Amino acid sequence: MPVIKLTATGSVLNDADKAAIISQLTKELEEAPTADGPVIFEIPLSGGDKFDVLVVWEKWKENNIPTQTRSEMIMAAYGDKTDKIALPLGVTYQEAMEQNLLPYAVIPMARKNEVPAEQLKASMKKYGAFALPGDKVDLRLPTIELASDIHKKLVDELPKAYWSIAQSLGPIE
């Protein structure tokens, strides 16, 4: 089989910017949300106390941060919990979609005027929905268990809305 290589681009991230990004990640982990902060998924692995960490954040692209550096920054933000992390992965929303890392979507199915659109969006954002162009939001999750849990919370929070869980089978075009 052929080996297909892409050309890597370098990062121009200085130490102060790197420290600021790690600090923002740390604040998010301490449940102190920051403006334009990441969505962090901790995905437990079966048979132990280890978990994977998926950090979806546009700041990775904005600062041209290579994948390896993203992983190192995630580990630095976790501090003394790094021994529990099996795989730290930092991606943008687009990268997550292209790699099918967030295959489950929780979708509002409310009929027109039943539940205000802004209320639906606000509830979805509370559970990690991604803001998209055109004032749209997309609530994507890495596991069916997490999707089911958030689906239940949304049903409880907005009983007049109807919610559905959908699974994508590949990258969205």
Averaged over 7-29, what is the pLDDT? Answer: 82
Q: Sketch out the chain's domains with CATH numbers.
A: 15-96 (3.30.300), 102-167 (3.30.1390)
Residue 8's pLDDT is 59
Closest by CA position to 142, among listed 90, 81, 94, 96: 96
21-54 pLDDT tens trace: 999 999 999 988 877 889 999 999 988 899 999 9
Averaged over 85-94, what is the pLDDT? Answer: 97
Residue 171's pLDDT is 47
The tokens describing 17, both together, are 């910017």
SS3 138: strand
- What's the pLDDT band for 19 if we cut at 50, 70, 90? very high
Q: Where are the beta strands (DSSP E) in the chain?
A: 39-44, 51-56, 85-91, 104-108, 130-132, 136-138, 140-141, 163-167
Residue 147's pLDDT is 96
Lowest mean pLDDT among 76-80, 112-116, 139-143, 148-152: 112-116
Task: Indicate whether 83 pLDDT > 60.
Answer: yes
The tokens describing 1, both together, are 């089989």
Lowest mean pLDDT among 30-34, 93-97, 100-104, 116-120: 30-34
- What's the pLDDT band for 125 if we cut at 50, 70, 90? very high
Task: Indicate whether 170 pLDDT > 60.
Answer: no
